[in-house]
Structures are given as C-alpha cells and as structure tokens.
Amino acid sequence: MPALLKNSSLFFLALVVLINALAYGTIIPLFYPYATRFGIGPVGLSLLIASFSIAQFFATPVLGRLSDMFGRKPVLLVCVLGTSLSLALFASATGVVMLFVARVIDGITGGNVSVAQAVIADSTKGEERAKSFAFLGAAFGFGLLVGPTLGGLMSRISLTAPFWFAAALALVATIIGVVTMKETLPKAKRQPSNQPIFRFHSLVHALFSPLTGIVLLVGFLSTISQNAFVIGVQSVTNDVLKMNPTQIGLMFGAVGIMSILSQVVGVPLLLKIIRSKNIIATVCLAAAGIALFFLSLQGTIVSFIVVLILFIALISPVSPLLTDLISERTKGEDQGIILGINQSYTSLAQIIGPLLAGLVAATSSLKMIFVLAAGFLFAGVVASRWLYKPVHQKFNF
C-alpha cells in the first residue's frame, strides 16, 4: 500500500489533487460555452487557456523555492486557496478582463502539484516514492474521470454552478489542510530566507545539469507529445470518426480507468519485475510511440478506441517515474524548486503541444497529429539513453 494512505499529510495531498482534478474536470465541458457569453471565440479561448500555462510557467519555480524556505504546508494551502478564489472570480466575471485575471491567478497559484510532489519527496524513499507519485497521478486521473459528469449535471442548474462548485471544493480542501496536514520539511533542512527567492536562469541551469537535465528534457518531450495527442483525439473523434457525445464520453471513461489502473497497479508491478525506473520509462516511451503511430492508421471507432486505450496504458507510468528520478537526483533542501522547474517545463509543453498540433492540422491531415506526437516520444527515447549515466551526487542550486 502506498505511503500516501499511511500518513495524514500524504493522504491530504491525494485529497488536494483529487479535488483539484474534480474542479478542473467539472469546468471542462462548460469552459467554452461560458466564455462565449463574453464574446470570446476560438482564438480568444486559446489565449485564455494559454494565460494559465504561461503564468504557471513563471510561478511554479518561485512557489517551489518558497516551500524550500518556509515549509510545504503554508505554500500548498495558499495555492489551493488561490484556486478557490480564481474559480469564484471566473464565475462572477462581468467582462473579458476578469476572465483573464481569474485564469492568471489560477496559474500563479497553480504550483500546488509541484509542492505536493515535494511533500512526497520529503516523506518517502526508493520504490515507495515512485508508488506515491503514481498514486498521486491516479488521484488526478480519477478526478478528471468524474469531474466532467458532475459539470454536465450541474450545468442544468446554471452555467456558473459548476464553477462555484469547483471553488467550494478547493475552499474545503484548504480548510481540511489547515486542520489535518503536518509540515514535512523540518526547519533545520530549509533554505535560508535571506537568499533570492528564485533566479530564472535556474530553469536553464537545471536543464543543462548532467544530473537533472536529461530527465527534464525527456519529460518535456513526452508532455509535448501528450498535449498534441489530446488535440488529435478531440479532432479525429469529432471530424473523422463522427462519434456522438455518448460514444466520446464512454471512450474518455475507459481511458480514465486505464490511466488509473496503469499507475496504481502497473507502476508497482513493473518495479517488482524490472526494478530499474530508467528501463521502464524508456520501454514505455518507445512502446507508446509505436502505439501512437498505429493510432494514425485506424479507420473504425472500435479499432481506434482499442489502440487508444493501449497507448494510455503504456504512457501513464512515464510521468510518475520521471518525477521520481528528478527527485532522486536532487538534494532534499532543493526538492521544491526542482519539482517547480519540472512543472514549469510541463506548462511550457502544454503551450507548445497544442500549437504544433494545430499547425499540423492546418497543413496536413488530422491523423498526422498522432505521427507528430509519436515523433516527440521517439525523440524522448533517443534522449533517454543518457538516463543510464551513473549518478554519484545530487544536484543543488
């Protein structure tokens, strides 16, 4: 059983991630219909979504460093409270400017994932740490699985009801955290508070470090692939396969269940059989790339869904394993900042992936998006050969 279920602070993390995913999943089906009330079209929507990722790109390393200086609990609680406030502002918006302000606030305080990962790094070691990262990912996947259904049901009350519900969820998580969460970073291990909060050249420094750089790069390439893939799935299911909303909903339900199983069951099982996280990550990347290529060749709904689920099963273990490798290669007092940097590169990939997918869709066929996504995974496989260099020390700033 993962340590997440044995420790009150770690269990709170799973709760926070679950509530965040529920909040995010709840508003997904209504994000665009709500934005159109303010005259926002497809281009404006892409800018609105990108504003969150851009804000998160710059903010997460800062939040990570603050958690290294002042502890995980206060930073994590401020982040969750920020999510609640941003969703309430979004729901009560009276104009386009308020919508963008709300998304930027959510992006700035969106570093709760990296701080949560730092708590795991503080509290677990070895194989148990990898299991806990996987469990955290599964909690997020479960929230995304249930959230859209809740959002659809609550939209019958009003279009703003899901946003208020999501804001309330995040507020409840904040209150629970104040009461139940214990600090996991002792004062003796914290960074001095008189140091600069963050030097943005650390983003480059970490990327070119022989210890953490290659893991960040492989994760970056994988995340670009997965975000391009999402655009491809949405486009192909609607425009090529002509699937109806019920079929699409069932498909995403099956995908969510497979993602959860792959992380909760698959990661521990793979670690027992193979032991090496490097090998597992490389093999999963290569196999997922092959699955994506075959996905581009599917012409029926059944075959498409079968290959899609296979891809999800193969790609889901990669992120928790890479996060664990980054944590293993970094000193304890720098866990917050390195995991924040990792989240920054994730945010950047969330911008690049959809933009590249849109470019491919405009200049080629929609199914070529899957070939593009597979190419990034194969690039990650090539880069991962440097994961096997011996690590004799830990990275620090």
Average pLDDT value for residue range 177-202: 77
Distance CA 30, CA 372 (A): 29
pLDDT interval class at 396 (50, 70, 90): low
pLDDT for 300: 94
Least confident of 19-33, 58-72, 114-128: 19-33
Structure confidence by residue, pLDDT tens digits, 143-173: 777 877 787 778 788 888 888 988 998 898 8
| Position 82 confidence tier, pLDDT thresholds 50, 70, 90 | very high
Please give the residue that has the higher pLDDT: either 268 or 49.
Answer: 268
Sign of CA pseudo-dihedral 234, 235, 237, 243: positive
Q: Which two tokens stand for residue 190?
A: 């914290």
- Give pLDDT, residue 200: 67
Distance, in Å, from the CA atom of 385 to the CA atom of 247, rounded to the nearest integer, reads: 40
Residues of the chain with CATH 1.20.1250.20: 1-184, 201-392
Dihedral angle computed from the Cα positions of residues 64, 22, 123 and 391, in that order, rounded to the nearest 10 degrees: -60
Tell me which of 304 and 49 has the higher pLDDT.
Answer: 304
Q: What is the structure's pLDDT at 218?
A: 94
Give domain 1-184's CATH architecture: Up-down Bundle (1.20)
pLDDT at 240: 87
Q: What's the pLDDT at 368?
A: 93
A 10 A CB-CB count for 177 gives 20
Distance CA 115, CA 339 (A): 7
Residue 2 has pLDDT above 60, yes or no: no
Q: Mean pLDDT score of the chain, rounded to an integer? A: 83
pLDDT band at 1 (very low <50, low <70, confident <90, very high): very low
Tokens, residue 149: 């259904």
Q: Return d(Cα 378, Cα 331) in angstroms, integer.
A: 30
Average pLDDT value for residue range 270-276: 87
Handedness of CA 130, 131, 132, 137 (dihedral sign): positive
Q: What is the pLDDT of residue 70?
A: 87
DSSP 395: B
Please give the pLDDT value at position 7: 61
Q: Round to whole Å and give the CA distance between 203 and 114.
A: 15
Coil, helix or strand for 330?
strand
- 231, 224, 215, 235: which is closest to 351 by C-alpha? 224
The CATH class given to the 201-392 domain equals mainly alpha
Q: What is the pTM for the complete model shown?
A: 0.76
Could you tell me what percent of the chain has a pLDDT over 90? 25
Q: Pick from 233, 225, 50: which is nearest to 42 by CA?
A: 50
- Please name the residues in contact with 378: beta carbons below 8 A apart, sequence gap of 6 or more: 285, 286, 289
Two structure tokens written together for 397: 């700033």
Mean pLDDT of 193-221: 79
